[in-house]
Structure formats: structure tokens, C-alpha cells
């Protein structure tokens, strides 16, 4: 399977935080082709293990979260309209008039609507519409809808991945299924390379709400090095160099409090050795990625973050460059191959 094909399957699928199990078969099947073992842990993380020549003397964990932002049914009113809330961080301005799928006993299509502008007074027209003032219209009345949908059912935006010009794609949930796709391509790269370290590839759950998946997976694996593969803010006209990274120029290598300086130095050096383009991505505090959970598990795990540039994050039209996924995978593979047991103490010293 090509990496783009897997990304399309995952982007088009549904797996809001807490409902990631809908994607497990596709990820397990893909990961299983290029690793020695794949398992599903108690919380639903998918953990693939690729053995190195060092018989487990060094363990590297690479994590990318498979959950997406979305919605949840909170009520069905007497006229059959669905009221809902968000799961994960969503800007209400991006969801009005979107087509959605409610994942009940069967998938039901609906549309997010609100009061027409013609009927709004002046004060309403000057303000953004709040999520609690929106409804989902499916065409069903309350009685029929209640047979198909229950309070607590998940909802996703009904959007399919599309190909754009210049090797770019757009769709929902690229945050962070692009990261999962990068892990998949890393596995394929490591098929060609001798590596001493054992590598654990983890598709984590619930990063958007609790980071519970990264916490428990890291605790169980107890790695020597942890790497979160996530997305960063792709540059658009309103953003500046300090808070965004360019599309098509490789992953951002995070620099900040979450990041181990010695490992970051090695990562950048490896990128230079193999001509993999990288960018500096500055984040002075906790990164807001699985690296935060990885770093503070057990006695602490030295952590890194690679950020795939992504435009329009947390919308249904996220845009990324497939070259950046490929660059990320190559860097992860070459970095893993550079790690030897006899240098770990020096590498991790401050």
C-alpha cells in the first residue's frame, strides 16, 4: 500500500477521541506488513514493534495520534433537531453549514444550521454564532431519529480527502493521521536499513482530549527515547516565521522545554548528513502533543517532536504536502539507525 492511500483511508474514516476503534483494522493491517508484531492495548492504542539488532538494549518509541476532533450528540429536541457539543478544540466559525455524519446505529447524514441572517437582528449579525445556537438537521422527526441515534453518539464532518496541485492533499483529520502515515512510511524505510535499536510505533488514542494513550503506552514500553510525530502550523499570509513553518520544506524540529537538547542536536545532525530538509519550530512551553505525556511518564523519558506542516488546522480542509510526510519518515528512519547502545549515556547527558 502506498502511504498516500493509507492517509486517504484514515482521513476519510471516523475516529473522534474516544471512538478511535473504528480505525483499528486498517492501521493494524498496514502496520503488520512491515513490523515484527502488532497489538492492541487495553485502552485501544495500536503498538507495532520492529526489532533491531541490539536485542532490545535500546528502545525508541514513535507516537502519532489517530483520534480526530469532532462532536457528540447531547439532545434530540421535539422537532427532531440534534443538539451537540464539541470533542476537542473546534472554532465554531468553521462548522456552520457543514455536512456531517452522525454515527449511531447506522450512519446518518445531517447539516449544521442556524437562524438565517435575514431573521437575525443587527446585534446577532455582528457576532459569531455560538455552537449551542446551532443544530443538526437530518430530515427525520424525533420519533424516527430516536430509533437510530442516541445521546453520546459521535459526529464527524462528512469530508473526503482530495488531491491538490504540487503533491498536496486536503481533508479532515490530517491532524494527526498524517503522523500515522509518516510512521507507516518510516517502517518501510527501516526495511532497507540496519538498525540497532528496537522501534515501537504507536498510534495513540485521545491526544486531543487527555493524552491518555501516550501516557499508558509509554509506561508499558518504557522507552529510552520518545518521539511525538504531529503537525505544526503551516505558513499562511497572516502568520509569521516565529509561529509557523513552510509547506514542502520538511518537518519542523521542535525547540523548547519539552525537548531533550542532546537528542535534538543529533536529530538535526542526521538531517544534515542525509540531506533531509528540516525547519526550526519554536515552542517554549509544553508542546501540546503526545511528547508532553511521553516526557513525564515513569522517571521521565527524553523526548522529541517532529511537526509536519499543516494549514488550516482543526478544520475540515486541512492541507499538507506529501513531500513533508516523506521527509519526516526518512528522518525518523535515519535517526533510529544512528542510535547505538554504547553512546546512550553521552547522548542523553546535559
Q: What is the DSSP letter of 13?
A: S
Question: Which segments within 36-150 are labelled E, that is strand?
Answer: 37-40, 46-50, 59-65, 70-76, 82-87, 99-103, 107-113, 135-137
- By the 8 A CB rule, do 108 and 81 touch? no
pLDDT at 119 over 60: no
**Model confidence at 125, in pLDDT bands (50, 70, 90)?**
low
pLDDT at 120 over 80: no
Q: Which of 20, 68, 207, 208 is catalytic?
A: 207
- At residue 283, the pLDDT reads 84
Torsion of CA 183, 188, 194, 195, to 10 degrees: 10
Label residue 53 left, alpha or beta by phi (over 0 means left) and psi (-120 to 50 means alpha): alpha
Distance separating alpha carbons of residues 295 and 301, to the nearest angstrom: 5
3-state secondary structure of 297: coil
> 132 catalytic, yes or no?
no
- By the 8 A CB rule, do 309 and 321 touch? yes
> What are the CA-CA distances from residue 56 to residues 7, 29, 221, 260 (Å)?
30, 24, 11, 22
Q: Please give the grid coordinates belonging to residue 103.
A: 454515527
Closest-CA residue to 64 (of 185, 183, 223): 183
pLDDT at 117 over 80: no
The verdict on pTM exceeding 0.75 is: yes
- Span 262-318, pLDDT tens digits: 999 999 999 999 999 999 988 887 888 999 999 999 999 999 999 999 999 999 999
- Span 222-253, pLDDT tens digits: 999 999 999 999 999 988 888 899 999 999 99
| Across 187-206, average pLDDT | 97
Label residue 329 left, alpha or beta by phi (over 0 means left) and psi (-120 to 50 means alpha): alpha
Domains of the chain: 3-68+172-348 (3.40.630.10), 70-157 (2.40.30.40)
Q: What is the DSSP letter of 165?
A: S
The Cβ of residue 262 has, within 10 Å, a number of other Cβ atoms equal to: 14
Which helix (H) or strand (E) element contains residue 189? helix 174-190
- At residue 299, the pLDDT reads 93
Amino acid at each position: 500500500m502506498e502511504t498516500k492511500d493509507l492517509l486517504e483511508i484514515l482521513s476519510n474514516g471516523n475516529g473522534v477521541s474516544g471512538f478511535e476503534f473504528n480505525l483499528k483494522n486498517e492501521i493494524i493491517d498496514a502496520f503488520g506488513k512491515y513490523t515484527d508484531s502488532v497489538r492492541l492495548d487495553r485502552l485501544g492504542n495500536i503498538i507495532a514493534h520492529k526489532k533491531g539488532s541490539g536485542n532490545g538494549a535500546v528502545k525508541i518509541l514513535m507516537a502519532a495520534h489517530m483520534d480526530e476532533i469532532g462532536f457528540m450528540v447531547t439532545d434530540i429536541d421535539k422537532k427532531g433537531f440534534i443538539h451537540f457539543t464539541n470533542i476537542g478544540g473546534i472554532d465554531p466559525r468553521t462548522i456552520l453549514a457543514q455536512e456531517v455524519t452522525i454515527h449511531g446505529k447506522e450512519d446518518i447524514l445531517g447539516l449544521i444550521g442556524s437562524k438565517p441572517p435575514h431573521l437575525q437582528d443587527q446585534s446577532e449579525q455582528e457576532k459569531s454564532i455560538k455552537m449551542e445556537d446551532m443544530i443538526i438537521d437530518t430530515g427525520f422527526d424525533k420519533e424516527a431519529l430516536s430509533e437510530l441515534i442516541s445521546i453520546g453518539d459521535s459526529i464527524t464532518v462528512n469530508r473526503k480527502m482530495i488531491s491538490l496541485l504540487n503533491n498536496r492533499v486536503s481533508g479532515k483529520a490530517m491532524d494527526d493521521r498524517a503522523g500515522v502515515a509518516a510512521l507507516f512510511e518510516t517502517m518501510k524505510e527501516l526495511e532497507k536499513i540496519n538498525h540497532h535499536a528496537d522501534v515501537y510505533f504507536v498510534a495513540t488514542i485521545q491526544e486531543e482530549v487527555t493524552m491518555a494513550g501516550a501516557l499508558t503506552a509509554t509506561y508499558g514500553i518504557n522507552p529510552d527515547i520518545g518521539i511525538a510525530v504531529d503537525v505544526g502550523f503551516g505558513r499562511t499570509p497572516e502568520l509569521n516565521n516565529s509561529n509557523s513553518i513552510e509547506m514542502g520544506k520538511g518537518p519542523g524540529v521542535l525547540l523548547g522545554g519539552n525537548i531533550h537538547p542532546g537528542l535534538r542536536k543529533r536529530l538535526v545532525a542526521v538531517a544534515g548528513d542525509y540531506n533531509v530538509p528540516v525547519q526550526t519550530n519554536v515552542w517554549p512551553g509544553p508542546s501540546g502533543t503526545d511528547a508532553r505525556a511521553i516526557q513525564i511518564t515513569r522517571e521521565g523519558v527524553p523526548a522529541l517532536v517532529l511537526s509536519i506542516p499543516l494549514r488550516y488546522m482543526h478544520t475540515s480542509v486541512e492541507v499538507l504536502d506529501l513531500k513533508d510526510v516523506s521527509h519526516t519518515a526518512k528522518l525518523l528512519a535515519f535517526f533510529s539507525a544512528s542510535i547505538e547502545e554504547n553512546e546512550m549515556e553521552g547522548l542523553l547527558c546535559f
